[in-house]
Chain A
Amino acid sequence: MAGLFDQRLLVVSGKGGVGKSTIAAALALESLRRGKRTLVCEVNADERVSGLLGHKPVGPEVGRLELNLWAVDIRPPDALKEYALLRIHSERVYRLVFENRFVRYFLRFLPALQELVMLGKVTFHLQEKLPDGRPRFDLVIVDAPATGHAISFLSVPQVLLDTVPPGPLSDETRIMRDLITNPSITQAVLVSLPEEMPVNETLDLHRALAEKVKLKTGAVILNQMLPRRFAEEDLAALTPAPHALAVARAQSARAALSEDARARLATLAAPVLEVPRLSVDPFDRQAIEQVRAALAPRLEEQ
Chain B
Amino acid sequence: MNALSQAIAQRRVLVCVGAGGVGKTTVAATLALLSAVEGKRSLVCTIDPARRLANSLGLKELGNEESPIPPKLLEEAGLPPRAEVRAMMLDIKKSWDETIGRFAPPEARERILQNRYYQTLSTTLAGSQEYIALDKLWQLRHQRDYQMIVLDTPPTTHALDFLDAPNRILDFLDNDAARWLLLPALKASKVGFKLFSFGGNFAAKTLSRLTGTQLLADLADFMFAISGMYAGFNERAKGVRDMLASSETSFVLVTTPSAQRLAETVRFHALLRENRMDVAAVVVNRVHPPVPEEARAEASSQPPALKAKLEQTFLEAAALAAHDRAAIASLTKQVSPTPLVEVPRFDLDVHDVMGLAKLGGHLLGRAVRSA
- A interface residues, Cβ below 8 angstroms from B: 15-17, 84, 87-88, 93, 96-97, 100-103, 105-106, 109-112, 146, 152, 163-165, 167-169, 195-197, 229-230, 234, 237-238, 241-244, 246-251, 253-254, 257, 277, 279, 281
Interface on chain A toward B: helix, strand, loop, or mixed SS? helix
* B301-328 Cβ-contact flags toward A at 8 Å (1 or 0): 1110010011011111101100100000
Considering the complex, give the chain B residue whose CB is closest to the CB of A229.
B309
Q: A169-B212, A248-B310, A250-B347 are in contact. Are A111 and B117 (CB under 8 A)?
A: yes
Which A residues are in CB contact (< 8 Å) with B180? Answer: 102
* B306 x A234 contact (CB < 8 A): yes
- CB neighbours (8 Å) of A238 from chain B are 298, 302, 306
Interchain nearest-CB distance for A80 vs B (Å): 10
Contact of B204 among A103, A169, A244 (CB under 8 A): A103
Chain B residues in the interface with A (C-beta under 8 A) = 19-21, 116-117, 119-121, 124-125, 155, 172, 175, 177-178, 180-182, 202-204, 206-207, 209-212, 214-216, 219, 258, 260, 291-292, 294-295, 297-299, 301-303, 306, 309-310, 312-317, 319-320, 323, 347-349, 351
The answer, among A87, A102, A229, A253, for a CB contact under 8 Å with B347, is A253
CB contacts (< 8 Å) of B216 on chain A: these are 106
A248 touches B349 (CB 8 A): no
Tell whether, in the assembled complex, residue A241 and residue B320 are in contact, meaning their CB atoms are under 8 Å apart.
Answer: no
Q: A84-B210, A88-B206, A106-B207 are in contact. Are A234 and B292 (CB under 8 A)?
A: no
A247 and B116 in contact, given A97-B207, A238-B302 (Cβ under 8 angstroms): no
Return the contact of A112 from the options B124, B258, B319 (Cβ within 8 A). Answer: B124
With A and B bound together, what is the CA distance between A34 and B222 in angstroms? 53
Instruction: Report A-chain residues with C-beta under 8 Å of the C-beta of B21.
Output: 15-17, 197
Residues from chain A with a CB closer than 8 A to the CB of B303 are 237
Some 11 contacts from A to B, beta carbons below 8 A apart, are: A100-B204, A109-B117, A111-B124, A163-B116, A165-B214, A229-B313, A234-B309, A241-B295, A247-B317, A248-B309, A281-B319
Query: Do A109 and B120 contact each other (CB < 8 Å), given the known contacts A234-B309, A241-B302, A281-B319?
Result: yes
Is there an interface contact between B292 and A97, defined as CB atoms closer than 8 Å?
Answer: no
Q: Which residues of A contact B347 (CB under 8 A)?
A: 249-250, 253-254
Q: Which B residues touch A165, using CB under 8 A?
A: 212, 214
Q: Which residue of A lies closest to B295 (CB)?
A: A243
- Given A106-B219, A109-B172, 6 additional A-B pairs, CB 8 A: A96-B203, A101-B177, A168-B210, A196-B351, A238-B306, A243-B295
Docked-complex contact B310 and A247, CB < 8 angstroms: yes
The answer to whether A102 and B323 touch (CB under 8 A), given A229-B312, A234-B306, A241-B298, is: no
Known: A103-B207, A229-B312. A244 touches B298 (CB 8 A): yes
With a cutoff of 8 Å between Cβ atoms, the chain B residues found around residue A229 in the complex are: 309, 312-313
- B203-A97 in contact (CB<8A): yes
How many Å lie between the Cα of A16 and that of B119 in the bound state?
A: 25
User: Are B310 and A244 interface neighbours, CB within 8 A?
Assistant: yes
Complex Cα distance, B155 from A244, in Å, reads 38
- Report the minimum CB–CB distance from A233 to chain B (whole Å): 9
Top 3 nearest A-B pairs by Cβ distance?
Answer: A241-B298, A100-B203, A243-B295
**Across the interface, which residues of A come within 8 angstroms of B319, CB to CB?**
279, 281
A30 to chain B, nearest CB (A): 23
What is the CA–CA distance of A209 and B125 in the complex, to the nearest angstrom? 22
Least CB separation from B308: chain A residue = A229
Quick check: A102 and B212 within 8 Å, CB to CB? no
Q: Are A279's CB and B316's CB within 8 A?
A: yes
**Which residues from A are CB-within-8-Å of B182?**
102
Please report the C-alpha to C-alpha distance between residue A106 and residue B302 in the assembled complex, in whole angstroms: 70
Question: Is there an interface contact between A237 and B20, defined as CB atoms closer than 8 Å?
Answer: no
Contact A247 B313 (CB under 8 A): yes
Residues of B within 8 A of A152 (CB): 124
Q: Are A105 and B349 within 8 A (Cβ)?
A: no
User: Measured between C-beta atoms, what is the minimum distance from A165 to chain B in Å?
Assistant: 5
Given A109-B125, A253-B348, A279-B319, A164 contacting B215 (CB threshold 8 A): yes
Q: Chain A nearest CB: distance from B188 CB in Å?
A: 17
Least CB distance, A257 to chain B, in whole angstroms: 8
Contact A105 B175 (CB under 8 A): yes
A243-B312 Cα distance, complex, nearest whole Å:
15
Q: Which of B209, B298, B315, B349 contacts A195 (CB 8 A)?
A: B349
How distant is the Cα of A238 from the Cα of B120 in the complex, in angstroms?
59
Known: A84-B210, A100-B203, A229-B313. A105 touches B178 (CB 8 A): yes
A36 → chain B closest CB, angstroms: 29
Residues of A within 8 A of B119 (CB): 111
List the B residue with the shortest CB-CB distance to A107: B207
Instruction: Please report the C-alpha to C-alpha distance between residue A146 and residue B20 in the assembled complex, in whole angstroms.
Output: 10
- A45 — nearest CB in chain B belongs to which residue? B157
CA A242 to CA B297, docked complex, whole Å: 11
Question: Which A residues touch B295, using CB under 8 A?
Answer: 241, 243-244, 246-247
- Set of chain A residues within 8 Å of B175, measured between Cβ atoms: 105
| Inter-subunit contact B19/A244 (CB<8 Å) | no
B302: contacting residue among A93, A102, A196, A244, CB under 8 A: A244
Q: Which residues from A are CB-within-8-Å of B299?
A: 241, 244
Q: Shortest distance in angstroms between B308's beta carbon and chain A's nearest beta carbon? A: 10
Q: Which residue of A lies closest to B20 (CB)?
A: A16
Chain A hits for B116, CB < 8 A: 111, 163
A146 and B19 CA atoms in complex are apart in Å by 12
A195 to B, closest residue via Cβ: B349
Q: How far is the CB of B222 from chain A (nearest CB, A)?
A: 9
- Best-surrounded residue of A87, A100, A242, A247 (most CB of chain B within 10 A): A247
- CB contact between B206 and one of A93, A105, A167, A248 (< 8 Å): that residue: A93
Known: A237-B306, A281-B323. A16 touches B19 (CB 8 A): yes
Closest to B116 in A: A111
A169-B207 contact, Cβ under 8 Å, with A247-B291, A281-B319 = no
By a CB distance below 8 angstroms, the chain B residues around A96 are 202-203, 206
CA–CA, A246 and B289, complex, Å: 12
Chain A hits for B155, CB < 8 A? 16
